[in-house]
Amino acid sequence: MKNKEEILNNSKFLIKDYKSNIGKWNKLFKNNNPIYIEIGMGKGKFIIENAKKYPNINFIGIDRFDSIVAKALKKIDEDIKNLLVIRMNALEIDEVFKNEIDRIYLNFSDPWPKVRHHNRRLTSEIFLKKYDKIFKNKNEIYLRTDNTDLYAYSVETLSKHKYILNDVTFDLHKTEENLITTEYEDKFSKQNIPIYSLKAIKEDV
C-alpha cells in the first residue's frame, strides 16, 4: 500500500501509545459503555459495521500488520465516535488492557496448522490465560472460522479453561441471517465453504 505511512501517521483512530492507556480505556472513549475488541480485524469490515450498528458499545480493532491496519483505517467514517484501532502483536494484550474488556471477537484467526506452532493460536492456553487478565466481569469470546482443525482445537482448549460453549454451529450461515460479516467470510460463503461458529462464556473467574 503506497500511502500506508501517511494514513498510519495521520489517523485519529489509531492509538500509538496504547500501553499507556491500560486500565483507562473508558476515559479514552469518554464513557463507561462496554468495550468489545476484535483481535485480528483484517481490513476492518466486521468491526466498522458493528461500531455503526451499536453506538452504545465501544469497539477496538487490533491487527499487527501495517498495510492491513492502513486499509482498515481508510474505511472508517470520520464521524464514528466508538471505534479505535491498535497496531500490535496479540501477545501484548495483557499489557494493554486490565479488567476492562467485555467481549473478544476472534474471526478467521490464523490456524497455524503445524503442531509446533499451536501455541500461537489465539485460543491456545497461553492466550486464554492472558484473556483472563483483561476481562471486566465475565469472559466472553465469540469465534468464527472456516478451519475445522482450529475449531476442534478451540472447542477443546476453551472447555478445558472452564468456558461454557453456546450457539455451537458447523454452518453459521444456514442458521443465521443478517449477520455482520468479515471480508474472509464473504469470500468463503460465495464458495459455499461452511463457517464454524461458537460463543464461549466463563463467569466464575
Q: State the residue for C-alpha cell 471486566.
A: 136
Buried residues in 150-166 as b, exposed as e (16+ CB within 10 A): bbebbbebbeebebeee
Catalytic center residues: 110
> What is the sign of the dihedral through the CA atoms of 41, 173, 132 and 123?
negative
Contact 185, 107 (CB under 8 A): yes
CA distance 19 to 86: 10
Question: Strands across the sheet with 58-63, in order?
Answer: 83-87, 58-63, 35-39, 103-107, 139-145, 196-202, 164-169
